[in-house]
Structure 1
Amino acid sequence: MSRLLDEINKYQEAFKEKVPQDIQQVMLDATENLKKLSLSKNALKVTDKAIDFELPNAVNKPVSLKEALENNEFVVINFYRGIWCPYCNLELQALQSINSELEKLNAKLIAISPQTPDSSLTTKEKNELEFEVLSDKDNKVAKEYGLVFSLAEELRPIYKSFGIDIEAANEENSFELPMPATYIVNKNQEIIYSFIDEDYTKRSEPQTILDIIQKNS
């Protein structure tokens, strides 16, 4: 199984070759500024109780954390930015690669983004995902988990130049997004693992998720 970190590094090398240095610098500076805010320190963490939610999946069927925990020993919750984010797509594909192993461990995988159910369906089909992809309109749940920030003004025209239309994907114009985050929640709704990072290029390694669940099974 290829490590997610390796896939991210490969993508970054290609990105550096094709994107002008000045644009890369603006993007790096925006990430550094976000890191300085230390938003992740206020997010839910290990030993916190996971907040229940009910959100529509890619075909508009409601899915709740409570019901997922009634039918599984663990739930893995992955907050991602959207289909337009290449790092998110790499992460979702990596999570798909362990989905069958998670199911054997009686763990349900749920991914959440602020994009519409239509965009979630596109994400699911594009990445051939067999797990739930939920639509968190206006980042309501992500805000409860303490993950939301507003995309820096200077990044918005850059993203547009890349063909990224966040307003269309989310059907709103706040430019609010969740920080990448992964949680493992046990039967008692306790968070036993959390990964949150202001740097959107950093993601939890799928093998770590499997290791934590096996350790707690």
Structure 2
Amino acid sequence: MTAQTHASLKTELDAFREGWTRRVGAETATLVAQDIENLRQSGLLDRVARAGSPIPALRLPNAAGDPVDLRALAESGPLVIVFYRGGWCPYCNPELRSYQKRLADFASRGATLVAVSPETPDDTLDTAEKNGLAFPALSDVAGRLADALGIRFRLSPEIEALYRQFGHDLPARNGDGEWSLPVPATFVVERGGTIAAAFVDPDYRHRFDPADALAVLAQLPSAAPLQSDEIRRPHGFR
């Protein structure tokens, strides 16, 4: 089941990428690929929060606008934070749905699952409803959490122009007037608030499969150890 779930998300994302490349053409696809590589070489990964760092003590509004204390969530058990770019992102929605499908497995590990984006609570609510999420979707107001974790960046002028062309009005959707985004990332936090593992990849077309997050949870001190053939360390794992 784990291998099948893992393959299904990657297969879905890869299929979309192939279709998108055919639709937009080689010039746009090359522009995006080069921008991703520029971001990778920018030094952003050098400042990303790593295993052993504390999760920032911040409160973020949920889709109803009610504040959620991340450190308080981590006090009751492990916490898995999935950063996504927004409901407009065609790679983010399949990722969120894949985590929703495994929600019971996270609960069985005693873990709380939350999704975080820079979008306003209204847009976050739309994304949660569209994907049938039964776990909290939080708004990172003004990118405070993304900044604290070192994953926020400003879009290049070329990608800003492309997103304008595509109708992705990020300053309005995020409510901060900025053309900035978080790198999609997944942080697995131990009970008590220490980051146990972080997956951060500047290529937003790559995502941390829920099966891998569950594998990390199984290796936390309070969990039974995994068998050697269950352990994976995907690209982007830090």
**Same fold? TM cut 0.5:** yes
Deviation at 1:165, TM superposition (A): 1.6
Quick one: structure 1 residues 70 and 190, their matched pair in 2 at CA, closer, same or farther if it must change by over 3 Å?
closer
CA RMSD of aligned residues (A): 1.2
1:212 matched to which residue of 2? 216
Mapped to 1, the partners of 2:209 and 2:150 lie a distance apart of: 21
State how far apart, in whole Å, the 1-side matches of 2:114 and 2:153 are.
21
Matches within 5 A, 1:110-149: 110-149=114-153
> How far apart are the structure 1 equivalents of 2:43 and 2:82?
20
- Which residue matches 2:62? 57
- TM-superposed CA distance for 1:158, in Å, is 1.4
In the TM superposition, residue 144 of structure 1 has moved relative to its aligned partner by 0.7
Q: Does 1:8 align with 2:13?
A: yes
Secondary structure of the equivalent of 1:189?
A: coil
**2:163 aligned to 153, 159, 172, which one?**
159
Report how far residue 131 of structure 1 moved.
Answer: 0.7
Superposed displacement of residue 189, structure 1: 1.2
Among 39, 51, 58, the alignment partner of 1:46 is: 51
The amino acid that maps onto 2:116 is I
TM-score by length of 2: 0.87
Structure 2 CA distance, aligned partners of 1:53 and 1:87?
27
Question: In structure 2, what is the Cα distance between the partners aligned to 1:40 and 1:133?
Answer: 25
1:179 to 170, 183, 195: 183
- 8 Å Cα contact 1:49/1:190 also seen in 2: yes
4+ aligned runs moved over 4 Å, structure 1: none
Q: Give the equivalent residue in structure 1 for 2:89.
A: 85
Question: Which one is further off, 62-71 or 110-119?
Answer: 62-71
Aligned length: 216
* Matching of residue 66 in structure 1 with residue 71 in structure 2: yes
Secondary structure in 1 aligned to 2:36?
A: helix
The residue type equivalent to 2:158 in the other structure is: E
Q: 2:30 aligns with which of 25, 48, 53?
A: 25
Matched, 1:150 2:157: no
Runs of 5+ consecutive residues of structure 2 not aligned to the other structure: 224-238
- In 2, the alpha carbon distance for the partners of 1:52 and 1:165 equals 29
Amino acid at match of 1:2: T
Amino acid at match of 2:206: K
Indicate if the aligned counterparts of 2:56 and 2:71 stay in contact, CA closer than 8 A.
Answer: no
Matched position secondary structure for 1:2 = helix
TM-score under structure 1 length normalisation: 0.95
Contact 2:154 2:180 survives alignment (8 Å) = yes
State the shift of 1:69 in Å.
Answer: 2.0
Whole-Å Cα distance in 2 between the matches of residues 129 and 111 of structure 1? 9
